Amino acid sequence: MERRLPHLQEAIIGCTYVLCASAALLLLADRPHGGEEIQHLLSGQILFVTWQQVAMYAPVYGTILLLWFACPRTRQGVGFYLLFSAAITSSVQLAGVFVVFASLITPALGASAVQEYHTALRKAYIVATTGLLLGFAAAILSDLPAGPVLVCSFMLAAVVVNCPAIRLRG
């Protein structure tokens, strides 16, 4: 995609996301607990992930990290997309579609106004860290579902970091 259709890359990624989400909805539509399964798939249950679930996905993440650091060629082209899709698929099972999507997109959004690489990277880390910490705290304190609260927290952090008119006083 990067070489042959670079101008369509974002559209293809978005369409793939919508297609997969729609397929999941169709697969779960006639199941007795399909509604609950759809809610878990979309918003996740990140505060209730067990160590057993983490252990189940640890080999996947371990393999991804091993290939990433041991085989630099996997960081480019098809290798990157294969590793990325394995990481995303596993992460969605643990955290939900919304949280995974927001954790990928909002740090980049928060850093989008900056041209200098190190400054942009620092801003992206600030958005990610702030979004996670405030989101988890707000979800725990408010007893609201963690997934949607995290998404809102990520978005708020991206706006605050990206908007020069907003200043945090501390």
How many C-beta atoms lie closer than 10 Å to residue 46's C-beta? 19
Q: Tell me: the pLDDT tens digits for 13-65?
A: 766 776 777 777 777 777 787 777 777 777 778 888 899 999 999 999 999 99
- Token output for 129: 């860290």
Are the CB atoms for 110 and 126 separated by under 8 Å?
yes
Is 60 exceeded by the pLDDT of residue 168?
no
- Residue with the two structure tokens 């996670």: 132
pTM, 2 dp: 0.73
pLDDT in tens, 125-162: 999 999 999 999 999 999 988 888 999 999 999 888 87
Angle at 10 between CA 7 and CA 16, to 5 degrees: 125
103-118 tens-digit pLDDT: 888 888 888 777 888 8
Check residues 60 and 12 and name the one with the higher pLDDT.
60
Distance CA 112, CA 107 (A): 9
Q: Measure the CA–CA gap between 161 and 20, rounded to whole angstroms.
A: 31
**pLDDT at residue 170, as a whole number:** 44
Q: What sign for the dihedral angle of Cα 49, 50, 56, 62?
A: positive
**CB atoms inside a 10 Å sphere around CB 28:** 16
Alpha-carbon gap, residue 129 to 122, rounded angstroms: 11
Report the percentage of the chain scoring pLDDT > 70.
Answer: 91
For the chain, the distance separating the N- and C-terminal CA atoms, rounded to the nearest angstrom, is 45
Question: Which tens digit of pLDDT belongs to each residue from 75-114?
Answer: 888 888 888 888 988 888 888 888 888 888 888 888 877 7
Residue 120's pLDDT is: 87
